[in-house]
Structure 1
């Protein structure tokens, strides 16, 4: 390993090669959103490399892809909780209080995800879909818009909360 001028470290060929069995390249494009949740049109490409000591097999490839997708799913959820519920802005020293905030935010995230899907399918501007097909294809409204709708209409928020608790689980 070699150090850089800015204090970082660079892995050298000697560090990587003895144990490397798989190198994975992930290319992705992200698109930023403006404050009103409209896309600004600029796509930012990035390439990530993952180095693994696992042998290159079909099973390991499937597991790696699953792991990467799962990680980004959690990152997306954490981003919503940070930006909409402002979880990282909490300044408290009491671990119990912080644990309570995290637990409450997780519950709110689950309920708002449920309500967001239902509102999108029903048409959150009271737009009735003509067919089930168009309702199924309707884009999901953003979390920020969902929260604004509930801020302006607490009774609607309460109705979705009651519907959430009245919903049967997938196993039943």
Structure 2
């Protein structure tokens, strides 16, 4: 796992997790465990699991969660670690928004604003998705405004 690009001071980051193939709930639990085992990442907390219908995707309902981590990895190194965990879970990318065994997205990385060919932070679509905002609000209410939550209130989401 690419956990060898340290910073000097830890950064708080938020990671979205989702899966809709196989035992999605167990896959998310395993992914959280794998994330916490990275030497440069400390899993601070994770939200409850939530069930949501696919958005811009197909297949069965998704199981989603959001994790807060403290890391000394750079944002690109943290993204690489997330992608490695996805691969270990059998993630394939046959086409955009395909059903998946595991999807992990870097939502926020401290107060950084990153716009590169491989990484955009804050995540460009996070404010449009209840499956991100509701679990993020659960663990970090200060990161989501009431107006942002209201903007996704029409999207069905069920806490498990």
Scaled by the length of structure 1, the TM-score of the pair is: 0.22
User: Which structure has the larger Rg over C-alpha atoms?
Assistant: 1
Structure with greater helix percent: 1
